[in-house]
């Protein structure tokens, strides 16, 4: 249920609502515009949570719906796997091509564009995370610094 509420990126709508109303009629309208944007962003999410959560347990135990729910779960896993492959290929290779077979599209990396810096940073982060138990914030900082340093040293 945590993924049903908007995160910080979507909260930009509150700022946009404020600016749009502020430009038309001043500070009071800006505050009202921000409040309306915030309301329109969060109310549907909380309706899903509070109205749907009591039925979630009931839905998962319905024999007739088990197949449909398993299909939805498989589709979600497929989308996550697709995103993993897409991000991995675009991170590790500077150039990729798309080969289409009718409706099926396959992402093919250009092997000559392999970025060896990525393997080094990945190995360093894996060792720090699993071998040294470094926390996520330190790990992200080290990875960012390593990426910036290697991009300046090996452009």
Helix 136-153 / helix 116-126 crossing angle, nearest 10 deg: 160
Average pLDDT, the chain: 89
- 33, 17 Cβ separation under 8 angstroms: yes
Per the domain annotation, does 94 fall within a domain?
A: no
Predicted pLDDT at 139: 95
The answer to whether 41 and 62 are in contact (CB under 8 A) is no
CA 126, CA 90: separation in Å to the nearest integer?
Answer: 19
The helix/strand count (H/E) of the chain reads as: 5, 2
21 inside domain: yes
Q: Is residue 101 part of a domain?
A: no
Q: Determine, yes or no, domain membership for 108.
A: no
Residue 12 forms part of a structural domain:
yes
Which regions in the chain score pLDDT beneath 50? 1-2
Q: What pLDDT was estimated at residue 131? A: 95
- Look at residues 41, 61, 81 and tell me which one is the last residue of a structural domain: 61
| 94-128 per-position pLDDT tens digit | 999 999 999 999 999 999 999 999 999 999 999 99
In a domain, 120, yes or no: yes
In the chain, how many domains are there? Answer: 2
Rounded CA-CA distance 154/118 in Å is 12
* Residue 69 forms part of a structural domain: no
Q: Domain residues for 6? A: 1-61
84, part of any domain:
no
């Amino acid at each position: 249920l945590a993924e049903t509420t908007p995160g910080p990126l979507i909260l930009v709508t509150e700022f946009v609502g404020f600016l749009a109303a502020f430009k038309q009629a001043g500070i009071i309208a800006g505050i009202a515009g921000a409040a309306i944007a915030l309301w329109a962003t969060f109310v549907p999410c909380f309706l899903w949570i509070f109205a749907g959560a009591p039925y979630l347990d009931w839905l998962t135990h319905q024999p007739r719906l088990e197949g449909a729910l398993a299909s939805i779960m498989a589709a979600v896993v497929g989308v996550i796997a697709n995103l993993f492959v897409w991000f991995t290929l675009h991170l590790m290779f500077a150039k990729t091509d798309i080969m289409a077979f009718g409706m099926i599209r396959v992402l093919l990396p250009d092997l000559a564009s392999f970025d060896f810096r990525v393997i080094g940073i990945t190995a360093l982060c894996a060792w720090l995370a699993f071998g040294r138990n470094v926390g996520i914030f330190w790990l992200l900082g080290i990875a960012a610094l390593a990426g910036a340093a290697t991009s300046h040293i090996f452009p």
